[in-house]
Structure 1
Amino acid sequence: MPPTAEAALAALPVVVEEVECRVGAVRLASYPGGGRPTSEVRLGEGRGECVAWTAEAHEEFRARTGAAPRGRWARLGDWSEAMRARFSDPYERAALEAAAIDLALRQAGTNLFELAGVTSRAVRYVVSYGRLRDPMAEAEPGVELKLDVDPAWDGPTYAALRRVAVLDFKGTGSPADHERAHRALPEALIEDALAGPWSASLRTRLGFDAPVTSAGALDALPVRPAAVNLKPARMGGVLEALACAERCARLGIDVYVGGMFEVGVGRRQLRALAALLCPDAPNDVAPLVPPERPPRLPVDGSASGFA
């Protein structure tokens, strides 16, 4: 991972003149209720997506976006600090910061890859599912999977699992449950198995997601994991996600990128971040519509902007 990605982004100048927020919903059969509320904040040409879960939260965000800092800023990092003083919600911070990053990159005529001096690569991804009684019968064929573990799974169900890159315990299960999953799928990441102790073998495949809310949150993890899931929306923005990735690189911890049901520009930005940091990791950034799921996700490394 390029060690200066966060610093290089934070050092970009940015001029913010216009602020707009558009609220809507995207119809998705896979989302509870069939419609995902969403909003897109625009700082001139820069765009970011808010992942708040309710339509009311998006309307409240739209009403507050007028407080976003405007004017000419010598450093994007200073703009972000001023924005954080006015917005406390991590989802709102992440959306505004993503829009400012997109704007600053466009104004500079560059992108993440040129700024960091790396070549964009197509991104490996997984398709994520909640609990399924019979995963191999119910999950989409031909793609790598991230599955929420069902405590009702028996031995034959575990034995039948294929193409599973991540098993997510969501903070549940006993150490015996975690070890059983690891024995069944020794190459898969065992995510958010928060209750130890763990065998030496399982420690080499432990992943953490929900507890990783900042770079500093690494200090509170019960053990140094094999990998952590970086979610900019949960962490309050891309700059904090990059800071965490840089710290993980120093500690020898792998990273993979995950989303929080982004349905618009936020999903494309996650792919760009994955292409920058971890193109070969089990990134939870799959296209939402099955026919659009190629073997890997191409990311344009030549266009200006975030995505």
Structure 2
Amino acid sequence: MASRTWDLLADLPLRIDSVSLEPLKIRVSEDFERWTMHVTLRGAGGAGPEEGHGEDVTWEVDDHRHLLEHGPAELVGEHTLASLSRALGDMELFPPSGPSRYASRQYRRWAYESAALDLALRQAGRPLHDVLGRKPRAVRFVASPGLGSPPSIQPIDAILARQPEMQFKLDASSAWSPNLMRTLSALGHVKILDLKGAYRGTPVDQPADRALYESLLKFFDDVLLEDPDLTDEVRDLFDDVRLDRITWDAPIHSTADIEALPFPPRVLNFKPSRFGSLEALFDAYDHCHEQGISIYGGGQFELGPGRGQIQ
């Protein structure tokens, strides 16, 4: 059996002297103010005081307000990453009555665990790649702009005017016209289309739309198709689509979720905050490595350290 990456991290010691919270906010529209919570763990290191940072990307503002009212998790003391993770798994991180949605438990746990990893590495004076015995490699980025209402090519043109080599991951919508799809395809810069078919009860829901899927498959013959909603009404459209073009994001919270997909994936989108614990995340990384599954990453509208950490 291959060694677990988590085993290289589990016994890292860390000392936590204090835990603090800072709400981060941005007004997006009249109806939407995005909140996240910046978690800071402080503790003495060999060269003096050190800090570890994490970000809770929970979407519901009331959940953040309740956290500020009740204060952060009681984590002061001497730990290893493994012992701290076990303690977090036993805690109610959403006092007094739990989160508004279940997935938020993972988001908050990830804020503490990512901050703990950050602090432990700083106290050890070692970067993550050194602890894991890996060599850093360059990362390729894409942009993911909205196309406005009504959708148009203008946001893409504006970015390409500044960065002519930029590539894109776009959220496909039933509001897209065939002419817009034709124009986007002709640019040759779109690499991933997010069909948003795995969301339910959220502002970004995009139910299966046969006309949309037909047009996307017609105009974009080589891009990755993320989270299609493979209902009986549209499943036949994908009969001749290479399976290595279909990728998944929203359903993936664990290795078990990967194994439960309708067919073995070749590519996945990982959002670390969805996994909650470092152990679950690194076990999923190991699974993908063993199965030859490529991974790319995306954000959850982070406003603080979380975006840099996932990159």
Aligned counterpart in structure 1 of residue 76 of structure 2, from 58, 70, 77: 70
Task: From 151, 168, 174, give the equivalent of 1:151.
Answer: 174
Equivalent residue number for residue 170 of structure 1: 196
Contiguous gaps of at least 5 residues in structure 2: 43-50, 94-104, 161-165, 198-206
Take 1:85 and 1:255, find their aligned partners in 2: how far apart are those partners? 30
| Mapped pair 1:24 → 2:24 | yes
Which structure 1 segments of 5+ residues have no match?
272-307
CA distance in 1, matches of 2:219, 2:297: 24
Equivalent position SS for 1:190? strand
**Structure 1 counterpart of 2:229:** 194
**Deviation per CA, 1:107-137, whole angstroms, max 9, x where unpaired?**
1111211112223333222222346544422
Larger Rg: 2
**Contact 2:14/2:119 (<8 A) preserved:** yes
The separation in 2 between residues aligned to 1:179 and 1:9, in whole angstroms, is 46
1:129 matched to 2:145: yes
2:108 counterpart residue number:
92
> In 2, distance between residues paired with 1:238 and 1:178?
36
Q: TM-score, normalised by structure 1?
A: 0.78
C-alpha displacement at 1:226, in angstroms? 2.4
Residue type of the alignment partner of 1:127: A
| Alpha-carbon separation, structure 2, partners of 1:252 and 1:203 | 14
Aligned residue among 263, 273, 283 for 1:233: 273
Give yes or no for contact 2:4–2:283 (8 Å, CA) kept in 1: no
Q: Give the Cα–Cα distance (whole angstroms) in 1 for the partners of residues 222 and 11 of structure 2.
A: 39
Whole-Å separation in 2 of the counterparts to 1:219 and 1:181: 27
Query: Do 2:145 and 2:155's aligned partners in 1 also have CA atoms closer than 8 Å?
Result: no
Amino acid at match of 1:15: R
Whole-angstrom CA distance in 2 between matches of 1:122 and 1:33: 38
Identity of aligned residues (%): 33
1:38 aligns with 2:56: no
For the residue of structure 2 that corresponds to 1:129, the secondary structure is coil
Counterpart CA distance in 2 for 1:212 and 1:178 is 22
1:49 to 45, 48, 55: 55
Equivalent in the alignment of 1:81: 86
Whole-angstrom distance in 1 between the partners of 2:15 and 2:223: 44
2:144 counterpart of 1:138: no
Give the TM-score taking structure 2 as reference length.
0.77
Question: Quick one: distance in 2 between partners of 1:249 and 1:269?
Answer: 21
Q: How many residues align?
A: 267
What is aligned with 2:8? 8
Q: Is the 8 Å Cα contact of residues 231 and 241 (structure 1) preserved in structure 2?
A: no
In structure 1, C-alpha distance between the alignment counterparts of 2:154 and 2:55, rounded to whole Å? 34
Q: CA RMSD in A?
A: 2.5
User: What SS does the corresponding residue of 2:191 show, helix, strand or coil?
Assistant: strand
Aligned residue type for 2:57: V
The alpha carbon displacement at 1:84 in A equals: 1.5
Quote the offset at 1:212 in angstroms: 0.3
Of 131-140 and 9-18, deviating more is 131-140
Matches within 5 A, 1:235-254: 235-254=275-294
2:207 matched to 1:184? no
Tell me: CA distance 1:150–1:269, structure 2 relative to 1, closer, same or farther (3 Å). Answer: same
Task: Confirm whether residue 113 of structure 1 aligns to residue 129 of structure 2.
Answer: yes
4+ residue runs of structure 1 moved beyond 4 angstroms? Answer: 31-35, 130-133, 174-177
Residues 19 and 65, structure 1, Cα contact 8 Å, conserved in 2: no
Q: 1:61 to 1:215 in 2, by over 3 A?
A: farther
Instruction: Tell me if the contact between 1:225 and 1:253 (Cα under 8 Å) persists in the aligned partners.
Output: yes
Tell me: higher relative CO, structure 1 or 2? Use CA pairs within 8 A at least 6 residues apart.
Answer: 1
Task: Tell me if the contact between 1:130 and 1:147 (Cα under 8 Å) persists in the aligned partners.
Answer: yes
Q: CA separation of 1:127/1:87 partners in 2, compared to 1, >3 Å: closer, same or farther?
A: farther
Judged with a 3 Å threshold, the aligned counterparts in structure 2 of structure 1 residues 141 and 248 are, in CA distance, closer, same or farther, namely same
